[in-house]
Amino acid sequence: MENGEVPEDANENCPGPQSESAGKSDSCQGCPNQEACATAPKGPDPDLVAIAERMATVKHKILILSGKGGVGKSTFSAQLSFALASLDFQVGLLDIDICGPSIPKMLGLEGQDIHQSNLGWSPIYVESNLGVMSVGFMLPNPDEAVIWRGPRKNGLIKQFLKDVHWGDLDFLVVDAPPGTSDEHISIVQFLQATGIDGAIIVTTPQQVSLIDVRKEVSFCKKVGVEVLGVVENMSGLSQPLTDFKFMKAGEHGEQVDVTKAVLDCMREKAPELLELVAFTEVFDSSAGGAAEMCREMGVPFLGKVPLDPQLCKAAEEGRSCFEGQSCRVSAPVLRGMIEKLLKVKEWNQDELQHAENGRV
C-alpha cells in the first residue's frame, strides 16, 4: 500500500488510506489493513514534492519499455541518448533496471563511482551534456547480484528521482526493466505530477515477444502514458557482404574458412557485389511483426532496426553507433527514428529547429 492506493484486499466501500476516516469507518471493520490505515500518516507524500522540484528543470521525460527481456531496449536507450546529446541537447539517462543494470557498460562507464555534493548525487558524465545514473555504479563488485524485493527497489527509484542533481535537461531518458511490475508502477507514480511525455516500446518481430509487448501497450494505456512509438529491433540480420565469413565443410565435416578466396573471386569477376548488403530474417515475422501489432492496437510504429553486428559491437564497447562509418546499416535507420521522434509530440519550435539544423 503506497501513495494513497486502495489495497487489493481492502473491504468493499474502502474510503482510501489517505482519508481521515481510514481505519475508523464502519466499512473498515475486519479489513486486514485496518490498523495500518488508521496509523498511517495522511496527506501527500513529501518525497513527491522533492521529486517535483528536481524535475522542474527537466523539459521532457521519455520512458523506454519492453514487455520481453533481451530485445535490445537498453541498446536503444543508450543510442537514443548518444544521438540526442550529439544534437547538443542536455540529456540524462536514468537506468532503473535494478537487477540487471547494463547501461554503465553500454555507455563505457564501468567502474565509475557516484559522488555526492551539497546539491545531491552527481550523475556520471560521458560528455558534458550526457549524464548517467544507475545502480550499477553502486555495486562493490560488478558480479554482485541485487536481491531486493519491490519496496526496496521502489525506494531506490524514488531516491534517484529526488536526490540526483541533473541540472537543466532537455531530455531525461528512463531505461526500465522488462515487464509491467513494481519499477514501472513506481516510475509512473513518482513522475505523473511532473508530466511524462510518453514511452517508446522496444520489441523483436516474433510473436513470442509481441505477446508480452501487447501487455506493455495495455499498461501504458491503463496508467495514462502515451505510447510515442514502437520500435521493432533485430528486424533481420543485415550487414555488408564483405563483413561475412564464408565457410565450407572439410573432408571430416570441419568448417574451413574460404572468405579470402570468395572475396578475391568477387573482386575479379563481379566487383559490384562487394557493395551489396546481405539480409536474412532471424525471427519469424510472418504474422506482420510490430507494424501489424501497432495497427491493431492503434499506436504509432517508429520503424525497424536491423540486427547489425556492428551496432552490437558499439554497445559492447560503450560508444555511439553514430561515430564513424562502422554502423552504416543500423545508424541511418536509428537516425531517422530519432528525427521522427522529435516531431511526434511537436516539442517546442526552438528545440525542433535546433534538431533540424544539426545532424546525428
Binding residues for [4Fe-4S] cluster are: 14, 28, 31, 37
Q: Contact 61/194 with Cβ under 8 angstroms?
A: yes
Whether residue 62 contacts residue 228, with contact meaning beta carbons closer than 8 Å, is answered with yes
Residues in the chain: 360
Alpha-carbon gap, residue 4 to 321, rounded angstroms: 44
CB burial of residue 293 (10 Å; 0-12, 13-18, 19+)? buried
DSSP state of 178: S
Rounded CA-CA distance 95/105 in Å is 12
Q: Which parts of 248-288 fold into alpha helices (H)?
A: 259-269
H helix runs in 169-288, sequence order = 182-192, 207-223, 259-269
Instruction: Say whether 94 sits in a helix, a strand or coil.
Output: strand
- For residues 124 and 139, what is the distance between their CA atoms, to the nearest angstrom? 14
Q: What share of the chain is helix, strand, coil (3-state, %, to 5)?
A: 40, 20, 40
- Of 91, 94, 105, the C-alpha closest to 160 is 94
Residues annotated in the binding site, as ranges? Answer: 14, 28, 31, 37, 67-74
CB 121: neighbour CB atoms within 10 A? Answer: 19
Angle between helices 150-163 and 182-192 (to 10 degrees): 30
Cell representation of residue 357: 539544423
Q: What are phi and psi of 239, to 5 degrees?
A: -160, 155
Quick one: DSSP state of residue 136? Answer: G
Enumerate the known binding-site residues for ATP.
67-74
Q: What is the DSSP string of 198-209?
A: EEEEEE-SSHHH
Report the distance separating Cα 303 and Cα 232, nearest Å. Answer: 6
- Write the DSSP symbol of residue 184: H
